[in-house]
Every structure is written in structure tokens, then in C-alpha cells.
Structure 1
């Protein structure tokens, strides 16, 4: 174990914020209440509300920077560059940390020499009337992570960023958040940690509250979401192919990603649907029935008409417009 891991407990808490005036104060209070040395940076990403004023009310305990709207990945990358602590948490401006969670995560990270330490979290939902309702306790799929973390994360394993403690050395190895995946960047960052050889550890306590939003990007802009899923799948395939031929688990995982993307893009009548099907075909795996028949119909009558026709043909489609994300998350930055 390195001397850095033994002696330096400082945690950088990076808070990207876009129009978060209603929730930001509670988020920052939860960060400041930690019984561990923290370095908190709020990156206001061109908010059009009073977020910047809310953040500045916490100065000098919190460092605040602002700039034009460039997206959550750019905001997080700015926060990485402005901090120096050997541990990092990316905390969304509407989530919050539970008391003493940093101390608990750090203890596990040090004892297991982990680069990525993940605790459990509680989902919080708005009941529609402004009242917050506590939902289920969630945890990443540790059985899958322990077997093959890259495949597990590419396939389904996910945790909210508030539940993840990264070592700076793995963050530096990754090189920052991807700017070309505006919706699923957090899931990809976790994959990239695994791809770069991160050691994972579980801190078995509830350490974060994750707010599930009804108007998240993944729910409000289906085409954009599924386009990200497709691009992410292609990039992961390219990374895996650099190492050699794909194995069975990798092919199965990629086939699932491309099938989900194809169904989602078909339902959104987006032209990149054909790219998703082409990616499926290139894998050489057997195509599901929908991807064998729907592309021919879509080329013949157009995507919109094909979507309507297949929505009436349930035996063929099996619910053609329904697609399940390979990540169980809800992108909140807009």
C-alpha cells in the first residue's frame, strides 16, 4: 500500500450544478457535515437560476467556479483539475451524502487497497406534489463485479456517483469524463475504471441518497439516450478489440447493448437505428427476430410507418418499442 493511501484522507467532493437552486444547499450541507477532511468544489455549468448565489453563500468553505453551459462531463473534469485530494467523489447537486460515509469508505479503501469503493444508496423520488418519498436500498451487483468487472459494468452493473469513492490515481489513469456521451457518462466512467485495472471494494453501508427525477435526460429524450447507448457500445467494442478477439461473454454483452439501442432507436424513429442493427450484424451472433425483420420493413416504408405497423403486430415485435437500458440509472444533467 502506498504512503499516500496510508496518510492522506482528504476527499475532493466535486459538485457539478445546472439549475440546482432548490437542492444545492442540502447537497453542500451534507458534504460539509462529513467527519473527514474535504475539498469541495462547485462547478456551476451556466445555470439560469440562482444556483450560483446559493453556492457562493457557502464560501469560503466551498470553492465556486462558473462558466458557460458545457455539460456535466466538462464540469466534472474542471473540478478534477481544480482539486488535489487523493480521493474523489462526484456528487450531483440534488443528491446528498449520509453522515460519516467518507470515513467508512476510506477505511475500506485502505484496508483493501481499492481504487474504487462503492457503498449502498437509497433512491428518493418526488411523489408529484413536491414531497420526497424514500425508495429502495440499492447496491451494485457485487457477484458480477467480482467475476469480470468490465463485462458486468458494460452489461448492467451501475452505482450512482454519490456512492462511489475513486482514488485520484485511477481518475488520472482514465483521463477524465467522456465529452461525447452526454447522457451515460457516469456509467462509462465506471467502466473505464475497470478497463484501466481498478480494484473494487464494497463498503456495506448506506452512504448516499440518490434523487430519481421524472424529467431526466434518459426519460425525456429517448433518442438521445439510446444514441449514447449505441456510441458507448461501439467504443467499448473498440477497446476490447484492441486486446484481441472478443470472447463469448463480451460478444453476448455487446449484442445486448446493440439490441437495446436498436429497439430504443426504432421506437424513437431515429435514423441511427440502422447503425445499431449494423453493429449487431458485425458481431456475427444470431440476430433477434426483431432485428431480422424490422430493418427490411423500415427501409421499405420508412421508420415511422414501420414503428406503427409493428406496434400493431405484437406477436412479431414482442413489444417492439420497449427497450431496457444496459444501465439502471437516470441521467440528470441537462
Structure 2
């Protein structure tokens, strides 16, 4: 199994070396690593080039992570693909474990367990995955639509599965990885869980869920609706809509609730139409109330005084990745 890893980076020099070390220290290292520097102003390209011929570097202005990944795929030769963010980490046996899954399921997507990796005080610590669990009886697509997921660092694509998905869509502004994965699942690609391996999805302090995030803007909400509309049309065309109808209704309802809370009445109405078209849920009301709580939390944070004194915690050294649990 020849694995190619594509890493988009924009001003990611701070963590990139640690990410690359976790790849090169794998029990089954990838055959190819392609770092796609999307217009960085920092030393990202120099950090990547410091690893010598083991890392290929592409530089340009691609216009976002999805477009950078598309450019990276064009340079790959492996029969399996991983799309790793420039700050995420892999346990030492992740590629070996996921490659073993694809050896048995050559047209599938392989996934492994994952944890958040976030800064708490002065140290980076592994914490439980931050998505709801997969509900009993759900297919992978139903679960993905209702909030369960695996980040790119915990996923290895067969080339065949990636091709069937249609590839990354740079026009999608929010949740690019969910879009490409759900299109693959809708096309009948299998998602197979590995019994081994753990990846670490780094959560930066400014990446916390907030109403200021892009998913709550008009453009972000419209993009989320477009993803669901396209997915619904594909499932209808394949005669598979009935199996995912309730999950799609919930997904539309979640967008409706977020749009309501963001004051985007037109988009909320569109999303509720999608919810009703797929059978209807109360997800939009729960989501609206959740978004209202986020707004109140954000308002409290903005009103809190900023300390004028006090030491800033030092950045921990870029050491080895956290080990896999036994």
C-alpha cells in the first residue's frame, strides 16, 4: 500500500514540524508527503523544506485549504490518500493500521479513533473526541449528517473512493471534509473502522465554537444549505433518499436553527423547507436555543476585562506526538 499524504498550510510554521515528524516516525511511513503552501507569510515552506527530499513542497496562492488539497492531489502517486492538517498529529501506528484496513477493503475509506489535542494551561493535552457518538443502527452517512464524524487526520482514502466522491470542492466554505466524505458515502463507498490507531485533531484556542465563526455567517449558512441540497439530489437520483430522509431533515433543521439565531430569516426559511421536505424534525428549535446560548456566552466574554499584567504561558516545545493508548 503506497500512501500519499497531502498537507495544506497557510502560516502554519508553528506546528508544521511536529506534524511532519509524526508522519516520518510512523511504523509504516508514507511513500510521499506533499506540503501545499497556500500563500504563507511565515516560514512554513522553509520548515517543510528543512526535512529534505522526504517532503515535496508546492507554493502558490490557491485560495483556501480545499483548493490547496486539489493541487496536492495532482502531484500524488499513491494508491491511498490522507489529507492531514498542518497542525494535527498521528499516533505512531495510524498509517499501518489504516493501510491494513484498505488492504482488505481496497475501494473503501478507512478511519481510526481520534482525540482532540488542545492547550490546557501551559501544556497540550489529549481530550475525548468532540462530536456526538454514532447512534445505534445509524449508517455512516446518517451519522455524519447528524453530527458524528472523523476529522481528516483519522481518515485514509483509497484512490478509488476519492475518485468516486468527486474530490474536494473549493466552493464549499464550511465543512469541506464533511462534504467530500458524505458525497463518497452517498456514492456507496464503505467506511471501515480500524481496531487500532489514534489520531489527534489539534483544537486551537481561537477555533472554539462561536457565533463569530464562519458557519454562522450568511455565506457559511448558504454553503451548508448547498451541500445538503446537492447531497439530497444525489441520493434521490440513486434511489437511496428514503434511507437517509430523517437524517437529512435533522441536518436541515440544524442549519435552520443556526440561521434563526444569526438573524438570517431567508436562509432559515429555506432550511426549514428542506427539513419539512424530508419529513420534519424539531432539530431547528433545539439548534436555535443552542446558538442563543453561544451568543450569550460570547457577549459575556466580550464584556470581560482584559488583564493588563501577568505572564503569558510559554509555548510548549514541539516534542513528539502523544503516544497511542495501550
What is the Cα deviation at residue 138 of structure 1? Answer: 7.5
User: Scaled by the length of structure 2, what TM-score is found?
Assistant: 0.78
Of the three residues 247, 256, 270, the one matched with 1:253 is 247
Is the CA contact 1:16–1:45 (under 8 Å) kept in the aligned structure 2? yes
- The 5 A counterparts of 1:1-334 are 9-36=1-28, 37-113=30-106, 115-127=108-120, 129=121, 131-136=123-128, 148-216=139-207, 219=210, 220-221=213-214, 222-223=216-217, 224-244=219-239, 246-247=241-242, 249-270=243-264, 271-281=266-276, 283=277, 285-286=279-280, 288=282, 321=292
Give a deviation string over 1:187-245, Cα, whole Å, max 9, x none. Answer: 11211221222222211223311112332386423225433332221111111121348
Is the CA contact 1:21–1:51 (under 8 Å) kept in the aligned structure 2? yes
Is the CA contact 1:264–1:322 (under 8 Å) kept in the aligned structure 2? no
User: Scaled by the length of structure 1, what TM-score is found?
Assistant: 0.77
Q: 1:130 to 1:233 in 2, by over 3 A?
A: farther
* Counterparts of 2:208 and 2:223, CA distance in 1: 11
Q: In terms of mean alpha carbon deviation, does 93-102 or 152-161 score higher?
A: 152-161
Is the CA contact 2:115–2:200 (under 8 Å) kept in the aligned structure 1? yes
What is the Cα deviation at residue 276 of structure 1? Answer: 1.8
Q: In terms of mean alpha carbon deviation, does 26-35 or 113-122 score higher?
A: 113-122
Q: In terms of mean alpha carbon deviation, does 38-47 or 195-204 score higher?
A: 195-204
Give a deviation string over 1:153-192, Cα, whole Å, max 9, x none. Answer: 2233310111111101111222211222122010112112
Q: 1:148 to 1:288 in 2, by over 3 A?
A: closer
* Counterparts of 2:187 and 2:281, CA distance in 1: 31
Q: In terms of mean alpha carbon deviation, does 83-92 or 209-218 score higher?
A: 209-218
Is the CA contact 1:95–1:211 (under 8 Å) kept in the aligned structure 2? yes
Q: 1:52 to 1:130 in 2, by over 3 A?
A: farther
Structure 2 unpaired stretches of 5+:
295-326
Aligned residues: 287
Q: In terms of mean alpha carbon deviation, does 217-226 or 253-262 score higher?
A: 217-226
Q: Secondary structure at the match of 1:60?
A: helix
2:308 maps to which residue? Answer: none
Q: In terms of mean alpha carbon deviation, does 59-68 or 209-218 score higher?
A: 209-218
Q: 1:319 to 1:179 in 2, by over 3 A?
A: closer
* Counterparts of 2:240 and 2:131, CA distance in 1: 32
What is the Cα deviation at residue 82 of structure 1? Answer: 0.5
1:327 maps to which residue? Answer: none
Q: 1:212 to 1:170 in 2, by over 3 A?
A: same
Q: 1:88 to 1:289 in 2, by over 3 A?
A: closer
